[in-house]
């Protein structure tokens, strides 16, 4: 009987010791009260927490964001002779697209910011998603305020993340219509592994417009070598062919 | 030692939890008997008489609610008692994918054997139980008789002084029963005490020198060989009389 | 080696061999193989984040597969041995109950290590096939998963000793695993709550192992090493469940 009592006491003591030693642990993730339920409901978030799988669900949200937005904005050169008076296409999701010309990728994507923000809620360390979302909002959709909101949201949980600060500065320069400063500000980001390809694409385009063809070619070569997005890779290869085929006469 | 097992005033009550409170069932009550060393003692009784309960009390699988059980002078739960007892439960189970030597080696290790003594014990067990011709088969290919032999084999591994066998010939064909009976007689001839329960009165008559008859948890009669041999109705008649 | 340690190892090895010989082991292996390769499809959809998504999915599937198999095993092991009377052949021998239970748990942990290693090989082969190298902190993630499994499997053995069925053991253990991931969030709520509600929530939190401690898979950046300090709670919770199970087993009748 004494032996049994000692075993039970030992069990309780071990559990108490374990709980006590774990008591100082604080989750690096945002508190549950800070998770804004997405449009589809909070079921996915609950499952993410229950499975201890915030990163996986952040990945899934990122895939959904990419599917929501798509990658049809890459073409820099219009296939149609001029685009004044063109009619914007409407895709199967009911989104308006401008597939060509200077307004490419604009469209209307009302859920883009909430979806992008939700990715960072699930995994604040998913810097690539934050940069992608901010770059799309600022430089494709010309929604600079939303881009800044997303970056500031990311900085809440990663206050030392210099890449967010760089893109924040670039957004500011973009609003001030200073493309050279935008290119210069985002230049340090380009070699980072989590730099979204569309930021590289933007940097190449801005360099090309400013006549810095060598820098533009280097960036296109990097995109062709490292990206897995076939649209960006094809575009980069197309641009490199133009560079090697006699150089550029001017940006378009 | 004169007695290998002694029960004095033993009571065992089972508690079954229920929705409206626990239910209690007394399997054995005020049970007192001894099992002599070197003899074959039988245990007879109808279903629910308490036979398996007694066997489990001897092997330390159950603990008495009252009274005292002693096996070789020790508490049945003590390692000193268990080391000298070999138990064959009713319808023993072995994992279907193992071979007999693997199963015996595992139980031999649990009996504290290892290395060369373990290998020797397994070999002897296989030989004595007639399993050597079936060494290459998996347990899934064994007949009921072979399973029973394997069960007996694991009980013999550590050379126990007392064998506790619950229905050792249950469901076996006559040839298998004959072989098992011969094996048990041989083991007894080596000086081991055997305590076996059975529904088969004829088997008990052939093997045992004394029989305990259980009726509804109580020891109704203790009958020696001389008594039932002298009785016109034999052991069956004595048994029927006791249980009525 | 002492006799009792030899007994423990015999039980552990037997438990491990029974686990891997089980036909369910093959089923789970096939499932893991299929699921990890299916994640390649999801990875392609993530385009430039394919490496991250493949890594995260593969590690999650590895953990869930191992968890499901081990919980199933732990929930049924002792019950099955009691039902088939195999346990009679064990406890009619001079086998200390503490050695038996320790052997069973060690056998399960051996199985866990094998499953994690095997699925890691499959996962890394998928990553290599897609042109990606070893993800940073991979070994730490597996170590964290192993510690998590150790805590929850030993808990399952403890529950199996008082629950009435394998299903209820499985359900209770799964709930505990889920609650373990919510522990950090629940602690936040407890700290925000005031008075009796906060105190009560805080007390119940101590009854749940905080599995987020070992969740290197989800850790900030997922490349962080597991601090050595997590070994203490892992050992504490595992040992506590073992001792609780031993307390129940010590007077259990068969």
Nearest CA in chain B to C254: B61
CB C16 within 8 A of CB C97: no
pLDDT by position in tens, chain B (length 244):
589 999 999 999 998 877 788 888 899 999 999 999 999 999 999 888 999 999 999 999 999 999 999 999 999 999 999 999 999 998 889 999 899 999 999 999 999 999 999 999 999 999 999 899 999 999 999 988 889 999 999 999 999 999 999 999 887 888 888 888 999 999 999 999 999 998 889 889 999 999 999 999 999 999 999 999 999 988 999 999 888 8
Under 8 Å CB-to-CB from A171, ≥6 apart: which residues?
A134, A138, A144, A147, A148, A151
Query: Which residues 221-250 in chain C show a CB within 8 A of chain A?
Result: 221-222, 229, 232-237, 239-244, 246-247, 250
Per-residue confidence (pLDDT) for residue C190, from 0 to 100: 78
* Tokens 């693997």 found at: B102
Which of C178, C192, C243 has the CB atom closest to A7's CB atom?
A: C243
DSSP A105-121: T-S--TTHHHHHHHHHH
Burial class of C79 by CB neighbour count within 10 A (0 to 12, 13 to 18, 19+): middle
Residue A73 binned pLDDT confidence (cut-offs 50, 70, 90): very low
Give the span between the Cα atoms of C187 and C191, in whole angstroms.
Answer: 6
Strand B85-88 relative to strand B218-224: parallel, antiparallel, unpaired? unpaired
**Is residue A183's pLDDT more than 90?**
no
Angle formed by the axes of helices A230-244 and A197-209, to 10°? 20
Which of C46, C189, C240 has the CB atom closest to A18's CB atom?
A: C240
Give the span between the Cα atoms of A18 and C234, in whole angstroms.
Answer: 7
Per-residue confidence (pLDDT) for residue C122, from 0 to 100: 87
As beta bridge partners, residue C236 has none
Give residue limits of the domains in chain B: 3-84+160-243, 98-157
**Residue A241: helix, strand or coil by DSSP?**
helix
Radius of gyration of chain A (CA): 23
Helix locations, chain A, DSSP H = 2-22, 43-51, 54-69, 112-122, 127-135, 144-157, 162-175, 179-186, 197-209, 213-226, 230-244
**Is residue A57's pLDDT more than 60?**
yes
CB B49 within 8 A of CB B239: no
Which of A10, A25, A197 has the CB atom closest to C243's CB atom?
A: A10
Residue A38 binned pLDDT confidence (cut-offs 50, 70, 90): low
Q: Which CATH superfamily is domain B3-84+160-243 in?
A: P-loop containing nucleotide triphosphate hydrolases (3.40.50.300)
Q: How many C-alpha atoms does A233 have within 13 Å on its Cβ side? A: 9
Residue A100 binned pLDDT confidence (cut-offs 50, 70, 90): very low
**Is residue A87's pLDDT more than 60?**
no
Residue A80 binned pLDDT confidence (cut-offs 50, 70, 90): very low
**Is residue A95's pLDDT more than 70?**
no
Interchain contact, C94 vs B93, CB within 8 Å = no
CB B27 within 8 A of CB B13: yes
Tell which wins on pLDDT, A247 or A184.
Answer: A184
CB C238 within 8 A of CB C230: no
Tell which wins on pLDDT, C147 or A91.
Answer: C147
**Is residue A106's pLDDT more than 80?**
no
Per-residue confidence (pLDDT) for residue C99, from 0 to 100: 95
Per-residue confidence (pLDDT) for residue C161, from 0 to 100: 95
Per-residue confidence (pLDDT) for residue A157, from 0 to 100: 86
**Is residue A76's pLDDT more than 50?**
no
- Angle (CA) A187-A190-A193 rounded to 5° is 150
A19 touches chain C (CB under 8 A): yes
Residue A91 is given by DSSP the state -
Residue A249 is given by DSSP the state S
Per-residue confidence (pLDDT) for residue B28, from 0 to 100: 93
Strand B210-215 relative to strand B218-224: parallel, antiparallel, unpaired? antiparallel
Per-residue confidence (pLDDT) for residue B175, from 0 to 100: 86
Give the span between the Cα atoms of B215 and B51, in whole angstroms.
Answer: 10
Query: Averaged in consecutive runs of 10 residues, what is the pLDDT profile of chain C (254 residues)?
Result: 85 88 73 74 78 89 91 92 92 95 96 92 89 89 95 97 93 94 80 80 87 84 70 96 96 90
Q: Cβ contacts (< 8 Å) between C91 and chain B: which residues?
A: 59-61
- Angle (CA) B6-B8-B13 rounded to 5° is 110
Give the span between the Cα atoms of B118 and B106, in whole angstroms.
Answer: 10
Long-range CB pairs of B135-138 (<8 Å, 24+ gap) are B135/B99, B135/B100, B135/B101, B136/B99, B137/B99, B137/B100, B138/B96, B138/B97, B138/B98, B138/B99
Nearest CA in chain A to C179: A50
Which of A11, A50, A228 has the CB atom closest to C47's CB atom?
A: A228
**Residue B42: helix, strand or coil by DSSP?**
strand
Per-residue confidence (pLDDT) for residue B145, from 0 to 100: 86
Which of B63, B87, B94 has the CB atom closest to C92's CB atom?
A: B87
Per-residue confidence (pLDDT) for residue C225, from 0 to 100: 67
**Residue B166: helix, strand or coil by DSSP?**
strand
Residue A79 binned pLDDT confidence (cut-offs 50, 70, 90): very low
A193 touches chain C (CB under 8 A): no
Interchain contact, A28 vs C178, CB within 8 Å = no
Question: Average pLDDT, stretch A172-191?
Answer: 85
User: pTM, whole model, 2 decimals?
Assistant: 0.87
Query: Which residues 89-118 in chain B show a CB within 8 A of chain C?
Result: 89-95, 97, 106-107, 109-112, 114
Mutate to test the interface with C, among A5, A13, A56 (most CBs of C within 10 A): A56
This model of the complex carries an ipTM of 0.90
**Is residue A248's pLDDT more than 70?**
no
**Is residue A250's pLDDT more than 70?**
no
Residue A29 binned pLDDT confidence (cut-offs 50, 70, 90): confident
Per-residue confidence (pLDDT) for residue B80, from 0 to 100: 94
Per-residue confidence (pLDDT) for residue A105, from 0 to 100: 53
Please tell me the distance in Å from C6's CA to the nearest CA on chain A. Answer: 22
CB A38 within 8 A of CB A45: yes
Under 8 Å CB-to-CB from C55, ≥6 apart: which residues?
C127, C132, C135, C138, C222
């Amino acid at each position: 009987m004494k032996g049994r009592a000692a075993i039970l006491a030992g069990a309780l003591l071990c559990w108490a010791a374990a709980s006590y030693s774990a008591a100082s642990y604080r989750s690096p993730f945002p508190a549950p009260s800070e998770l804004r339920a997405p449009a589809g409901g909070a079921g996915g978030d609950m499952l993410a927490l229950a499975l201890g799988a915030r990163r996986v669900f952040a990945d899934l949200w990122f895939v959904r964001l990419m599917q929501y937005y798509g990658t049809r904005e890459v073409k820099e050169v219009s296939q149609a002779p001029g685009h004044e008076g063109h009619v914007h296409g409407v895709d199967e999701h009911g989104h308006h697209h401008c597939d060509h010309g200077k307004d490419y990728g604009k469209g209307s994507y009302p859920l883009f910011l909430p979806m992008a923000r939700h990715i960072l809620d699930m995994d604040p360390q998913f810097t690539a998603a934050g940069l992608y979302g901010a770059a799309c909002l600022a430089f494709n959709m010309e929604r600079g305020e939303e881009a800044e909101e997303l970056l500031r949201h990311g900085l809440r949980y990663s206050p030392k993340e210099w890449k967010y600060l760089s893109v924040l500065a670039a957004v500011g320069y973009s609003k001030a219509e200073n493309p050279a400063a935008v290119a210069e500000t985002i230049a340090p980001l380009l070699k980072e592994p989590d730099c979204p390809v569309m930021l590289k694409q933007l940097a190449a385009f801005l360099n090309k417009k400013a006549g810095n063809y060598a820098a533009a070619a280097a960036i296109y070569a990097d995109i062709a070598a490292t990206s897995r997005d076939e649209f960006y890779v094809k575009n980069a290869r197309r641009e490199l062919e133009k560079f090697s085929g006699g150089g550029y006469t001017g940006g378009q | 030692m004169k007695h290998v097992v002694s029960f004095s005033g033993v009571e065992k009550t089972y508690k079954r939890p229920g929705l409206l409170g626990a239910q209690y069932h007394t399997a054995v009550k005020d049970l007192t008997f001894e099992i002599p060393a070197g003899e074959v003692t039988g245990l007879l009784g109808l279903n629910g008489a308490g036979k398996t309960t007694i066997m489990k009390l001897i092997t330390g699988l159950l603990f008495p609610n009252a009274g005292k059980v002693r096996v070789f002078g020790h508490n049945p739960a003590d390692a000193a008692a268990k080391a000298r007892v070999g138990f064959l439960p009713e319808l023993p189970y072995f994992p279907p994918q193992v071979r007999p030597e693997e199963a015996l080696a595992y139980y031999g290790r649990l009996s504290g054997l290892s290395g060369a003594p373990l290998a020797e014990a397994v070999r002897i067990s296989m030989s004595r139980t007639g399993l050597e011709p079936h060494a290459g088969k998996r347990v899934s290919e064994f007949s009921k008789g072979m399973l029973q032999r394997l069960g007996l084999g694991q009980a013999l591994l550590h050379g126990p002084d007392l064998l506790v066998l619950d229905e050792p010939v249950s469901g076996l064909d006559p040839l298998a029963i004959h072989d098992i009976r011969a094996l048990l007689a041989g083991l007894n001839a080596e000086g081991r005490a055997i305590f076996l329960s059975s529904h088969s009165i004829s088997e008990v008559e052939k093997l045992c020198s004394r029989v305990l008859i259980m009726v509804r948890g109580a020891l109704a009669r203790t009958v020696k060989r001389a008594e039932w041999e002298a009785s016109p109705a034999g052991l069956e008649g004595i048994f029927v009389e006791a249980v009525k | 080696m002492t006799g009792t340690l030899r007994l423990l190892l015999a039980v552990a090895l037997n438990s491990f061999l029974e686990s891997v010989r089980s036909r369910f082991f093959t089923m789970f292996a096939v499932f893991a193989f299929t699921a990890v390769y299916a994640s390649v499809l999801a990875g392609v959809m993530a385009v430039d984040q394919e490496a991250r998504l493949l890594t995260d999915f593969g590690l999650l599937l590895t953990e869930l597969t191992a968890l499901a198999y081990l919980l199933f095993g732990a929930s049924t092991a002792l019950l099955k041995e009691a039902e088939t009377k195999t346990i009679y052949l064990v406890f009619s021998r001079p086998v200390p109950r503490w050695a038996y239970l320790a052997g069973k748990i060690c056998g399960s942990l051996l199985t866990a290590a094998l499953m994690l290693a095997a699925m890691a090989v499959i996962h890394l082969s998928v990553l290599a096939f897609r042109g990606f190298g070893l993800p940073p902190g991979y070994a730490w993630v597996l170590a964290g998963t192993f510690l998590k499994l150790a805590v929850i499997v030993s808990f399952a053995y403890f529950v199996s000793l008082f629950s009435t069925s394998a299903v209820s053991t499985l359900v209770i253990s799964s709930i505990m695993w889920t609650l373990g991931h919510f522990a950090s969030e629940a602690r936040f709520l407890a700290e925000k709550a005031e008075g009796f509600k906060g105190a009560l929530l805080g007390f119940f939190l101590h009854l749940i192992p905080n599995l987020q401690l070992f969740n290197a898979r989800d850790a900030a950046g997922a490349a962080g090493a597991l601090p050595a300090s997590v070994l203490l709670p892992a050992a504490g919770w595992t040992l506590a469940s073992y001792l609780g199970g031993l307390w129940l087993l010590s007077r259990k009748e068969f």
